[in-house]
Amino acid sequence: MKASTRKKIIIILVVTVIIMLLRNYAPAYFSLEAIKSNRETFQSYVGQHYFIAAIIYLATYFVTTAFAVPVAAPLTLAGGFLFGTVIGGTLTIIGATLGALVLFIMVRFLI
């Protein structure tokens, strides 16, 4: 087996394992109930560290979109709730677009 073929198989296996883990465990942490129960914690963190919280939200949305984890609705609502409609919507669009781009590139060149 060629080294490039072996490398592609390993990458596909690692990505598959990551997707399976995220699909099984991420929805419990990104549900509406989890967001509601931690509301004060999230708001205080965003109030104290606005820029870092925005980057974390953007990265979270990017990863969940790139690995096709089905938590878009609660994350979108949380973004609007925590950052406001305009900033939350902008961060959501940027994260979703970058995540979809990475997903497209992974599928295009790995499969």
Average pLDDT over residues 95-100: 94
Residue 78's contacts (CB-CB under 8 Å, 6 or more residues apart) are 30, 35, 42, 57
CA–CA–CA angle 49, 53, 57 (5° rounding): 175
Whole-number average pLDDT of the chain: 85
Between 16 and 60, residue with greater pLDDT:
60
Residue-level pLDDT at 1: 65
Per-residue confidence at 26, pLDDT binned at 50, 70, 90? Answer: low
Among 107, 36, 21, 48, smallest CA distance to 78 is for 36
Q: Flag whether the pTM goes above 0.85.
A: no
pLDDT at 89: 94
Residue that wins the pLDDT comparison between 19 and 74? 74
Q: Tell me what the mean pLDDT of segment 65-78 comes to.
A: 85
pLDDT, position 80: 92
